[in-house]
Structure 1
Amino acid sequence: MFEKMAKYIRENLQLLIDQPVGTYCLRLHNDRVYYMSEKILQMAANISRDKLVSLQICFGKLTKTYKFQLHITVLDYLAPHTKYKMWIKPVTEQSFLYGNHVLKPGLGQITENISQYQGVVMNSMVDIPLGFGVAAKSTQDCRK
């Protein structure tokens, strides 16, 4: 799981755990990974595991083959800490949200030094995080 998260936020992974408002932790429950404060964790300890449906924020789940998949709910927590971002033009936003690829003409801005196959967070032109993905080309290839 940390490998997937590090793909997007690199060295800022520690910032998710050590928040200024308190310490947060990641817990596995029913093949899902939840992100919660230690205060919520202590309160949830009073509830039996079979009665507990969900905890604070679901970061992702483990598949049957035990591969980790990030959920879209993690986007609000990844976006402020990510190093590499791409901004999409308003015309292309709808197409991206329906699951299509973003082509070069649909990119508004791109951060410097993105390598090929690097994890990026996709933003609208007004800095609203829309999703995350993998860059098929590096920054230098996109500028050509």
Structure 2
Amino acid sequence: MRPLTDEECKTFFEKLSVYIGRNITALLERDDEPYCFRLQNDRVYYVSEAILKKAMSFGRDGIASVGTCFGKFSRGGKFRLHITALDYLAQHATYKVWVKPNGEMPYLYGNHVLKAHLGRITEDTPEHQGVVVYSMADIPLGFGVTARSTQAARKLDPSSICVYHQTDVGEYLRDEENLL
């Protein structure tokens, strides 16, 4: 495991800031113990420094995963967030969307959030902004990107898309071989 390079840090933090904004500092400056981001096999892991020190005693090939996988770098250098980062995104999300019970299953099967399924949305959410998608019971279901701003979404017809699907907890079942 190695620290991220400047280019990788820039790409990673730009992608992460779409969903949690300036709350990135809350991930790194924790009160309980220090945490950091490390790269192994093109995947970025969020790990405590205490666990990282213990993991350093193993060879690079002996470690499959350590900490929480936040995502993966593609061969082209782009970064893609994984559903495994949802717990941290949900804690620090700037903008949120709540889905009605009749819209949960379509979303968990990989469909976009329609206006008819939209329960609530954070005030003043801009267009093309990263959001965390919750059920009406405040259970994080996944994350996506808004198709319209809050004001524009109020005027849409029920079959219009409000949030573009990025990933959801159903991915644990659909695409489990690529998560680790």
Aligned counterpart, 1:29? 40
SS in 2 for 1:58: strand
Aligned counterpart, 2:88? 77
Query: Between the two proteins, what is the percent identity of the paired residues?
Result: 56
In structure 2, list runs of 5 or more residues that go unmatched: 1-11, 156-180
1:60 equivalenced with 2:71 (yes/no): yes
Aligned counterpart, 1:13? 24
Shift of 1:74: 0.2
Aligned-partner Cα distance in 2 for 1:138–1:5: 20
Aligned-partner Cα distance in 1 for 2:29–2:84: 19
Choose the corresponding residue for 2:139, options 124, 128, 133: 128
Choose the corresponding residue for 2:54, options 31, 43, 52: 43
Aligned-partner Cα distance in 2 for 1:101–1:56: 30
Aligned-partner Cα distance in 1 for 2:19–2:93: 6
After TM superposition, the score normalised by the length of structure 1 is 0.98
Aligned-partner Cα distance in 2 for 1:65–1:50: 24
Provide the aligned length of Structure 1 versus Structure 2.
144
1:119 equivalenced with 2:164 (yes/no): no
Choose the corresponding residue for 1:97, options 77, 92, 108: 108
Runs of 4+ in 1 over 4 A off after TM superposition: none
Q: Which amino acid aligns with 1:127?
A: D
Aligned counterpart, 1:87? 98
Aligned-partner Cα distance in 1 for 2:43–2:36: 14
Aligned-partner Cα distance in 2 for 1:123–1:112: 15
In structure 1, list runs of 5 or more residues that go unmatched: none
Aligned-partner Cα distance in 2 for 1:142–1:53: 43
Q: Once the two structures are superposed, what CA deviation does each residue of 1:86-121 show, in whole Å capped at 9, x if it has no partner?
A: 000000000001011111110000110111100000
RMSD: 0.7
